[in-house]
Structure 1
Amino acid sequence: MTSALVVTTYNWPEALSIQLKSIERLTKLPDQVIIADDGSGKETLEVIEQFKSKSDLNVKHVWHEDRGFRRSAILNKAIAQCDADYIIQSDGDCILHHSFVDDHLRHSAANTYLHGSRVNIQKELADKILESQQYNLNVFSQGIKKRMRALHLPVLSTMNKAEQFLSKKIRGCNLSYWRKDFLNVNGYNEDIEGWGKEDSELILRMLNSGVSGKRLKFAAIVFHLWHKEQDKSGVEANIRLEEKTRNENISWIENGVAKYL
């Protein structure tokens, strides 16, 4: 089984830089790192090129023009350029626990997607990390919220079983699935633009197609850097699209990844 770590980013090179440092510390490396860039400028490109120059990893930078929040489209484009069997997703404003990839791969199972925990780093600590470009995060760190989520206990992480319902805990910054299951529902719905619901709508279609979901607790941890909230002015339209998927039991959408394959 081959794996790809797909990281989304948009014009926050300081955060992406610290996330890339966390990738270097992983106990198990993915076969490929794909940076899905939703239209960032040259500062982000410089961070990526510097990382590529000193890393032995297979790193690919997939970029498109900045025309607003088009996370669905850039993820489709990135995954279309990937040939790995298994996709692990995170966001460029997250720091990965050193076992992040290992945990996702250890728990991977046929016909199943996984979603893990997000530990929020509060503003003061986030500012210090971004300024110093250094971090040492664990359950005892001052400046994190809901610290129980930072507990890494592999023995307990096997407790949850696969389920056939949409969890409210789905976060695109900590998600993994088989690429074939992604392609089977035509990937992300590009009718969803602006912040919100692109990940849960995708997962809902996977569920409708017969894939089950499993929550990873005490494993596959990401630490999320504080930032101002995104503009949520378009979320109502995205909610309606998700409701349509639920009410009509939709598994395949037309405006998806197929056009890039």
Structure 2
Amino acid sequence: MANNIKTSLIISTYNWPEALSLCLLSVSKQSIMPDEVIIADDGSTWETLALVEKYIKDFPVPLRYVWQEDEGFQLAKIRNKAIAQAQHEYIIQIDGDLTLHKHFIKDHIELSQKGAFITGSRVLMDKSRTEVVMKNNQTQTGLLLPGLKNHTNRMRIKFLRDYFADRYKQGDNLYLRGCNMAFWKSDLIKVNGYNEDFCGWGKEDNEIAVRLINSGIKKRAIKFGGVVFHMYHGNHCLVRNHENEHRLAHAIKDKITYCSRGISQYYQFAPQPQMSI
């Protein structure tokens, strides 16, 4: 894919401005910048807005902020709102508790392909390593430092990145990381974006991937590229996980391509559903 596509980087966040600050710092150091950055805030208090306002002044690309009331974990909803406001054709999606390798955006652009979406991986930091990088404002982490897991996910090797794009776990439609994905905006609109029936942590990213695949959009993997480092935090609440698992199973079994409560709520005109949950 040509490198002249226009990209919107969407960063989801909730009440961790210290991590978001480090994430934005890593974005500002990209070898190829996104054309805009949108913070998708699922109900944080004023400290996050204050941080974003501080960064807006000197950020190298337009930086915008989308916020919603805190009514529990509603990642699907805030992502839809941010995607609806995105100005560009290609959406790269991350979480605000990541720092990005300097070629992260470059890797995603180079692997972009019409008729496909991309899912990446992550390097996990333990608690002590997270404390070190946050204390020292470090956006890049060496391959051999202690406190990191998923060793192969640290490596950026271009020929392996390209080789595995259409080979890595192609038979596993549920393999993905919602914190490191990329889509054509037109494909997201086609399936009506995220399903907002998903509340509470888990499976909203798997389910949108299933609907994309059901609609004929191919999954590609970004391994040995698109490297991100995930800062340590406590576990998510899984109280709604059973319901979300059921919705995911329904999308798989009935080959769902379109959700009823999706991104169309934020557009004046919306595509007609093919199959509806």
Q: Displacement, 1:104?
A: 0.3
Find the aligned partners of 1:233 and 1:105 in 2 and give their Cα distance. Answer: 37
CA contact (8 A) 2:161 2:223 kept: yes
For structure 1, the residue ranges without an aligned partner over 5 or more in a row are none
Find the aligned partners of 1:220 and 1:136 in 2 and give their Cα distance. Answer: 13
CA contact (8 A) 2:7 2:35 kept: yes
Moved over 3 A (4+): 161-169
Partner of 2:210: 204
The correspondence for 1:120, drawn from 121, 124, 135, is 124
Residues 227 and 126 of structure 1: CA distance in aligned 2, closer, same or farther (over 3 Å) = same
CA contact (8 A) 1:160 1:216 kept: yes
CA contact (8 A) 1:165 1:207 kept: no
2:52 pairs with 1:48: yes
Residues 16 and 173 of structure 1: CA distance in aligned 2, closer, same or farther (over 3 Å) = same
Q: Displacement, 1:131?
A: 2.5
- Work out the percentage of aligned pairs sharing the same amino acid: 37
What letter matches 1:21 in structure 2?
Answer: L
Find the aligned partners of 2:104 and 2:258 in 1 and give their Cα distance. Answer: 30
When normalised by structure 1's length, the TM-score is 0.97
Partner of 2:260: 254
CA contact (8 A) 2:76 2:204 kept: yes
Q: Displacement, 1:127?
A: 1.2
Equivalent pairs counted in the alignment come to 261
When normalised by structure 2's length, the TM-score is 0.91
Residues 79 and 165 of structure 1: CA distance in aligned 2, closer, same or farther (over 3 Å) = farther
The residue matched to 2:64 in structure 1 has which SS?
A: strand
Find the aligned partners of 1:104 and 1:135 in 2 and give their Cα distance. Answer: 19
Range with bigger deviation, 241-250 or 122-131: 122-131
Q: Displacement, 1:136?
A: 3.3
Partner of 2:233: 227
Q: How does 1:123-142 map to 2 (within 5 A)?
A: 123-142=127-146
For structure 2, the residue ranges without an aligned partner over 5 or more in a row are 268-277
The residue matched to 2:91 in structure 1 has which SS?
A: strand
The correspondence for 1:179, drawn from 176, 185, 189, is 185
Partner of 1:146: 150
2:26 pairs with 1:22: yes
CA contact (8 A) 2:25 2:139 kept: no
Query: For the aligned residues, what is the CA RMSD?
Result: 1.2
